[in-house]
A and B are shown apart, each in its own frame.
Chain A
């Protein structure tokens, strides 16, 4: 951790040079100017909201630095951004430095979510870099008295026909880059790419595999204290009694912090803080209330809660007549992000200013929440993203940041590190919401889908901060902040209704979103949001209809799909798998196929899989999978493959094993024993991922695109292997065994 540099706010502001100072002013100006400029064509990606070029690229005599408001979460885009900037600036990849989300230094790009980082930030960096390069050439032309057309760039310098060379550092003066981006840029031709499209090794991996400080968990600031929180035993529990005197006398204990139902202990050393936490937990008496629904009746619980119903899609062609009709109901339980490293944060309160190092996905919205909780002006709170363990959505990161800030305020000057326990992460993270889908569809006389009805019941899929009320510490304080009212996330991206609208071409279709505002369990964004269950439902039901029509699942999909890029990934995945119509899998094995375009507007992904089912025990095993993905212009092929491989494996774990468990009061899945996930004995024999590159096309992102197709592909393979259709996630060995025996 480069603590010496980032810890001193004044030095950052004063010593960073003219460009950084003018950038800060620039962001402020940009916000004021945004509205009147709305009529003009806006520049692409996040340049729309942060239009100044020096929000993205800063150059001085020391070198070239690239800035992104997005947070590296292990997806590898820090490397991809560096490739994009190197390509468009025409500079060596190794000579660049990329700085990620920091409320003091980078653009406000909201959350790192929705597979939007390449589209938002990658596009902004690409265009900003291209425009910076054009400005540098123009400046060189002016200085040399030559035409811009006669100059070229190479390796971080502008070069004149006579070989005269002006480095970028020499060319940048004052606030030359502090100009607003133009709506269009002269981008380099894909055919000339030198760095984009190459599998450049990830910049973060060497540190991670040699024991370097790579995570917020690894931060050690001078004088740092260790804190542990004692969370209530259940939602809404009230702390009625807590004698802290004995705990305060334990070795190393510096302070017990209590604010209403918020309870924490701070010690000099980490294990001292853990022992003190255990003692404090034993001393605390709580009043609990039974408020949780019946875990084994989620279908009825969800569909009978009050809902706000919206028809989000309707298409009608009365000329097409229904011949045969089927219907089915699919369910998904609450599921956990289950980060391997529990949430962690470091905070330090000095001279009325709060610094928080956090693995949040959104430093700016999280800062707003923490500032509100502490009743401080946001300008006095700085959040710096430092990597944590993979999060796959809104896990405990923001809560841990709030915990650290609240505790650090009680101990001015000394940095405080808070690390959640495994049990806290499992019990208190906001889960991926439970969902119910009901489908009904008909075939026409020619075996094509004539009509399609889709109803989805779900909570919102984002309770991320913005306000303090989203964070546990603020909810538990003596003067608590109320949990904000949940809102459905707007289409076209959607939340519970993400990917609820079929991407296929059906003559009659109706899709209804039943938005449930009551949230009996704490929930928020989990990788792919509603798309995981909606694609699982749609693609399972498509197979049920294909069976009814006596059609091959791949051909049946192609028959209903006009989109050429969608057809291409389906054909590629089928070919890579060796899919043949009328194929017969070996005994007790099945083949499955599924496809989706994520959010109906981002990356395309198709997955074919082979699953083996043990008929005696019901145990399913993914034997192999082949996938095809079209994510637009590919920046780092291996990075993209890594994301899709990971999506297939993680989605397989969700799909076969995972559900949050609870009784009428408490969450009971509180560790890896009670919330089992995939282990190595169930890892497939092979996964192959084929990329369909689209040179020059927009970046479509990739992080979440595989979750839905992988789930449905596996479900379809289980149905193919057993002849039984399972519609309730997870598809456990018990459920499969019961279906086989039924």
Chain B
């Protein structure tokens, strides 16, 4: 049994230590957002946040995750109460098939948490590990810029609750 902290909750999971995080999230915790794309750390579809950093969950074994805080896209917000990054992707219609998008969103979220006003160049550099095959890149970039503005506004507003962060 291993203990895993995901989206603010502790879970006991019965998995072998070499199991990559991705399969525990999908198979044991029934979470959808982190996707299997390559299993090789080449495409970014499986990206989640571990202790504030974007991590490729398909290549990180469970043995390295004891005591760490993991956040997946599900932990940011919901359809009814979307987080700024989620609102931004909806407002920019930044998806075609959408399969690669959750991974991109998590890396963007990690970036915006440490740098609330990234330049276009910084965003592009940050997204380098991520592939999109539909060619939605222009919208993804726009959505991340929009998310930065939304988060800025949310921070400035006293009514903003912590639930979306």
Contact = CB atoms under 8 A, between A and B. Distances in A.
Given A205-B90, A270-B27, A422 B40 contact: yes
B11 interface: no
A201 B127 contact: no
B139 interface: yes
B65 interface: no
Contact of B135 (A207, A251, A646): A646
B20 A340 contact: no
A212 B32 contact: yes
A389 B95 contact: no
Nearest to A686: B138
Contacts of A205: 89-90, 93, 95, 98
Interface residues of A, number: 63
A684 B138 contact: yes
Given A422-B39, A671-B42, A73 B97 contact: yes
Contacts of B30: 220
B110 interface: no
A209 B133 contact: no
Interface string A380-404: 0000000111101000000000000
Contacts of A209: 73, 82, 86, 89-90, 95, 98, 101-102, 105
Nearest to A648: B135
Interface residues on B, range: 35 or more
Interface stretch (A55-63, A488-496, A675-683): A675-683
B130 A211 contact: no
B134 to A, nearest CB: 5
A421 B39 contact: yes
B72 interface: yes
Contacts of B78: 210
Contacts of B130: 679-680
A601 interface: no
A286 interface: no
Interface in B36-78: 36-40, 42-43, 45, 72-74, 77-78
A210 B73 contact: yes
Contacts of B148: none
A249 to B, nearest CB: 15
B3 interface: no
Contacts of B96: 74-76, 390, 642-643, 646
B134 A646 contact: yes
Given A208-B98, A209-B95, A645 B135 contact: yes
Contact of A645 (B36, B74, B138): B138
A226 B28 CA distance: 13
A201 B15 CA distance: 41
A206 B125 CA distance: 27
Interface in B81-110: 82, 86, 89-90, 93, 95-102, 105
B79 A341 contact: no
A649 interface: yes
B131 A677 contact: yes
B145 interface: no
Contacts of A218: 32
B111 interface: no
B99 A390 contact: yes
A210 B139 contact: no
Contacts of A653: 135
A210 B95 contact: no
A642 B125 CA distance: 23
Nearest to B130: A680
Given A210-B74, A271-B23, A650-B133, A201 B90 contact: yes
A342 interface: yes
B132 interface: yes
A683 B138 contact: yes
A642 B134 CA distance: 9
Contacts of A390: 96-97, 99, 133-134
B38 A671 contact: yes
B132 A340 contact: yes
B134 A74 contact: yes
A680 B128 contact: yes
Contact of B133 (A207, A208, A340): A340
Which of A202, A206, A678, A687 has the most chain B CB within a 10 Å cutoff?
Answer: A206
B133 A338 contact: yes
A679 B40 contact: no
Contacts of B19: 271
A648 to B, nearest CB: 7
B124 A211 contact: no
B4 interface: no
Which of B15, B98, B102 has the most chain A CB within a 10 Å cutoff?
Answer: B98
B92 to A, nearest CB: 10
Given A205-B95, A210-B79, A340-B100, A649 B36 contact: no
A208 B141 CA distance: 17
Nearest to A710: B135
Given A390-B99, A390-B134, A642-B93, 11 more contacts: A74-B97, A211-B73, A214-B32, A226-B27, A338-B133, A340-B37, A422-B37, A422-B42, A671-B40, A672-B38, A681-B124
Interface of B: 15-16, 19-20, 23, 26-28, 30-33, 35-40, 42-43, 45, 72-74, 77-79, 82, 86, 89-90, 93, 95-102, 105, 124-125, 127-128, 130-139, 141
Q: Give 4 closest A-B pairs by Cβ, nearest first.
A: A74-B97, A649-B135, A390-B97, A211-B33
23 contacts: A74-B96, A210-B74, A210-B79, A211-B72, A213-B32, A214-B32, A214-B98, A215-B35, A270-B27, A271-B16, A340-B43, A340-B132, A340-B133, A342-B37, A388-B97, A388-B99, A389-B100, A392-B133, A422-B39, A649-B137, A672-B38, A680-B128, A681-B124
